[in-house]
Amino acid sequence: MDRDFGQKPLKLFLSYYRPHRRLLAIDMLCVLLSSFADLAFPLASRSAMRTLLPERRYQAFFAVMAILFGAYLIKAVLRYVVTVVGHQCGVRIEADMREDLFTHLQDMSFSFFDRNRTGVLMSRMTSDLFAITELAHHGPENIVMALISLLGSILILFSIRWQLALVLLVLVPLFLWFVLAQRKRMNDTNVAVKRRQAEINAVIESGVSGVRTAKAFTNEDVERGKFHRSNEDYKNSKRDWYRAMGTFISGMEFTTSALQVVVVALGGYFIMRGSMDYIDLITFSLYVTTFVTPIRTLVNFMETFTDGSAGFTRFLELMRLEPEIQDAPDAVALTDVRGAVDFCDVSFRYRAELPVLEHVELHIRPGETLAVVGPTGGGKTTLCQLLPRFYDVTEGAVRIDGHDVRGLTQASLRRNIGILQQDVFIFADTIRENIRYGRPDATDAEIVEAARRAEIHAEIMALPDGYDTYVGERGVMLSGGQKQRLSIARVFLKNPPVLILDEATSALDSVTEQHIQSALDALAVGRTTLIIAHRLSTVRSADRVAVIEGAHVAEQGTQAELLAKNGLYAQLCRAQGLIE
């Protein structure tokens, strides 16, 4: 993205046309030519009725009609081009915006996703951007067509009967006043509709992804109730939008229809006085239709405009949010990692909430395995999320090989850290591509080797399609143990010098856990490893143990030292039946 999202919305919106200016130029040229065809018809008809017919020049009359017929045939071709090319231009702009938004969301910090629901973000990337597409397509062509038709018809009307044209010009400011008065109301109600639409999308996303849990607890009625309430709010917001739109459209219908009545009434008056003939009145009426058509187009365009501008406003709301975690201007890349990790007087809190960690002091030597244990809610997972800089410390510093992680580029830092979590995310793709996610440029042979080291190769080969087996949404076709070993294979493929195991086996049964533990032990060899665990049986291979309780490091040392101390670690071991 090379755009400045701090600039004015209109200037920013127009910048999206720049890469597609050739398509836009073709679209505008066709709009111009088709508008001129509409302006030519009444003049040609007037000339034919005034001169050709009275002078019995029938051959010339039909020749003019044939030319007009050909002109409208060309206009039909031009409208086809406008429809196809215009929509192509619009959808390309939509795609550019969606790519910018997706890229921006990828840069956002964990805290942003903590506060925003997936369904709401999905709505902003789909329905909001579709509305912008319609605006990007119809906006320029409707404005150009309206200006050409309005200005052209006004000039010709003045040449026919300036008094009647003057009446139309008097009515135009009333039209503009009405449009401006209703525009703000329509825009406000449309923004409210967008918000409600995002909320209902979030409820749908939650209801679909959580359907198994809902069925397990027989809470289908609860989910239906949530959806019903959200659906009602959406309907109410739409009702307000339709009322605003109805007021606008009905007012415009009256204004545009009244023009024809005024023209016929005044034209009849001029005919009665002998200062105007029927041919001029017919021609004038035709041009009033040409004059009214772009007004009607603008009326219909107002819905597209308000819908698209509301979507663009919401698009800008996201694009103008800055990630809380950003690379420092002088950030350097982390290279030649040995794996020394230091938590130096680290404190952390989520915004103004109670402290999660206070004055934590931990030092891990290269290649050492440190187990972080303690009661639930003590801050163990948060501690390990500070190392890859998913969150920034409130006080103190986290260092790797002596470098403060805030002075390193995020990409290089996270490239050197492998993370295995309890909740493994498996993509709706093949087994091969899920493993390849650890290193996108890996060869098939390297993928197979990673699977062997994760002790899942044999199970993969037993499947009908082997490594090309599709695993379903979030890996629903795999067992918990298979998912976990796929994630282990990913990390083997990534081959990072620092490893974080966050409750990697807590969701598994004891037999599967023991099977996977050997793969984890192999993975940890030669790497600096932090293990977060509730089951103390899984940390017996750790060189040292740190016990986190109440946001502090309660005690740390080797397992023998902590058991001899008979403190909190010993209590946890007794509670799990590991010692008497």
Q: Encode the chain (580 residues) as per-residue pLDDT tens digits.
A: 567 777 788 888 888 888 998 998 998 898 888 888 777 777 777 777 777 767 777 788 788 788 878 888 888 898 888 888 888 888 888 888 888 888 888 888 877 877 777 777 877 787 788 888 888 878 888 888 888 887 887 787 787 777 777 877 777 677 667 766 776 677 777 777 777 777 777 777 677 667 666 766 567 787 788 778 888 887 777 787 788 778 777 777 777 677 777 777 877 877 787 777 777 777 777 777 777 777 777 766 777 887 788 888 888 888 888 888 888 999 999 999 999 999 999 999 887 677 889 999 999 999 999 989 888 777 888 888 899 998 899 999 999 999 999 999 988 998 899 888 777 788 888 889 989 988 888 999 999 998 988 888 988 999 888 999 988 777 778 887 788 888 888 888 888 999 888 876 655 566 666 667 777 777 778 889 898 887 787 787 889 999 988 888 889 999 888 888 888 888 888 887 777 6
The Cα 499–Cα 419 span in angstroms is 6
Q: How far does Cα 67 stand from its chain's mean position?
A: 50
Domain boundary (495, 512, 542) is at: 495
- pLDDT for 472 equals 78
- Whether 387 and 427 map to the same domain: the answer is no
The Cα 144–Cα 150 span in angstroms is 10
SS3 55: coil
- Whether 374 and 227 map to the same domain: the answer is no
Looking up residue 428, the CATH number of its domain turns out to be 3.40.50.300
Domain boundary (473, 495, 517) is at: 495
Residue numbers of the domain that contains 289: 9-319
- Domains held by the chain: number: 3
- pLDDT for 272 equals 83
Contacts for 517 with CB less than 8 Å, ≥ 6 apart: 505, 538
403: left (phi over 0), alpha (psi -120 to 50) or beta: beta
Give the N- to C-terminal CA distance of the chain in Å, as an integer. Answer: 62
Q: Is residue 258 part of a domain?
A: yes
- Whether 257 and 395 map to the same domain: the answer is no
The Cα 377–Cα 383 span in angstroms is 11
Q: How far does Cα 421 stand from its chain's mean position?
A: 26
- pLDDT for 511 equals 62
- pLDDT for 461 equals 92
- Whether 352 and 335 map to the same domain: the answer is yes
- pLDDT for 352 equals 65
Q: Is residue 228 part of a domain?
A: yes
